[in-house]
Amino acid sequence: AYAVLIARHLGVEDEDIVSGLESYRPNLNRSQFQKGQRNDLIVDCYNANPTSMKAAIKNLRSFDRPFAILGDMLELGEKSGKEHKKICKLLKKEGIEDVILVGPLFAACKRPERFISFATTEEAAQHLKKYAPEDRTVLLKGSRGIALEQLIPYL
């Protein structure tokens, strides 16, 4: 909405605004929807904080057959452990049962045993080579330092 208002303020014609909005594709691993080899992917591997993680999880719940691959939220300081535990509780509350957690912060959470946890993205990749989900909507969400986009070829 703001983009339209600014464009109109700058004198851009409505048909050019529509064309620009229709052709826009997010990049840099920020909320990109794309087709994987076996799944529909929501790729948001650029940044993660408690607010954006909660919003992404609630959005994922609106899809059939949701599957979450979540990486640590880095740079949260002293509240880090508490915030990661809250995310695990939210997954359970939202009914998202198929979850892979990546990173030492999530690994330190006491979580339901049905969640799979890996210390590194490389370990998660080895798992996905053998046990990749199929025909799912997969959310990849984590801080930039976790590099979850490396998992896309296996999905």
SS (H, E, C) 33-79: EEECCCCEEEEECCCCCHHHHHHHHHHHCCCCCEEEEEECCCCCHHH
pLDDT at 37: 87
pLDDT at 12: 81
pLDDT band at residue 25 under the 50/70/90 scheme: low
pLDDT at 29: 46
Could you read off the pLDDT of 43-85 as tens digits, one per residue?
A: 988 788 899 999 999 999 999 999 999 999 988 888 888 999 9
* Strands, sheet with 99-102, edge to edge from the N-terminal-most edge strand: 32-35, 40-44, 137-141, 66-71, 99-102, 116-118
pTM, rounded to two decimals: 0.79
